[in-house]
Every structure is written in C-alpha cells, then in structure tokens.
Amino acid sequence: MHLDRDYFDEVCKALEGVQEWLLTGPSAAKDEMSSYLHTFRPGFEEKLLAVETADHPTDGQLLDHARRFFKVADRMQPNWPAQAKV
C-alpha cells in the first residue's frame, strides 16, 4: 500500500471544521485514506460517518449520493439536545 501523505494532509486541511463527513471512492484510494486517518488523524476518523465504494462517479452523481446519504443520516439524529445527568 502506498500512502500519499501530502495529498491526504491536504484533504484533511480542507475538511477542518466539519462535524461529519462521508468517504467514498474506488476501493484502493478510500482504503488508503482510511488507513491514513486511523494512523495519523484519529480526530478526523471519529467524524467519519461511513466509507463507501464508488467507481469514479461524476461530480453530479457524487453530489446526489452525498445529499441522499446525509438526509438519511440527519433523520437518524435526535431532534433535541441530550439531557444532562443530574
């Protein structure tokens, strides 16, 4: 496995500040990114909701998939803040 740390560092810089994200792509690329996150950027791995295979989608296909994914993910979240334990 060849990890392109410079590229993955740039991806993480672009993702700084996000609360949740989806990793999608061809198997080798997403697996390398997932491995990089596990080893070098565990904070980003914690915000990763899913890792899914996609064989070179167009920008439109990727955007459509992400919108559908996050719509479902948002429905699974509670609608109220967690109550503090007393």
Q: Say which CATH number the domain at 50 has.
A: 3.30.420.60
Torsional sign, CA 45, 35, 63, 54: negative
* Predicted pLDDT of residue 25: 84
Whether the Cβ atoms of residue 23 and residue 31 lie closer than 8 Å to each other: no
Overall average pLDDT of the 4-11 stretch: 90
* Predicted pLDDT of residue 10: 93
DSSP classification of residue 16: T
Domain of residue 20: give its range.
Answer: 5-75
Q: Is residue 64 part of a domain?
A: yes
The total number of structural domains in the chain stands at 1
Q: Is residue 20 part of a domain?
A: yes
Q: Is residue 85 part of a domain?
A: no
With cut-offs at 50, 70 and 90, classify the pLDDT of residue 82. Answer: low
Write down the pTM of the prediction: 0.72
Q: Dump pLDDT digits (tens) for 35-65.
A: 899 999 988 888 899 999 888 889 999 999 9
Q: Is residue 15 part of a domain?
A: yes
Q: Is residue 52 part of a domain?
A: yes
Q: Is residue 11 part of a domain?
A: yes
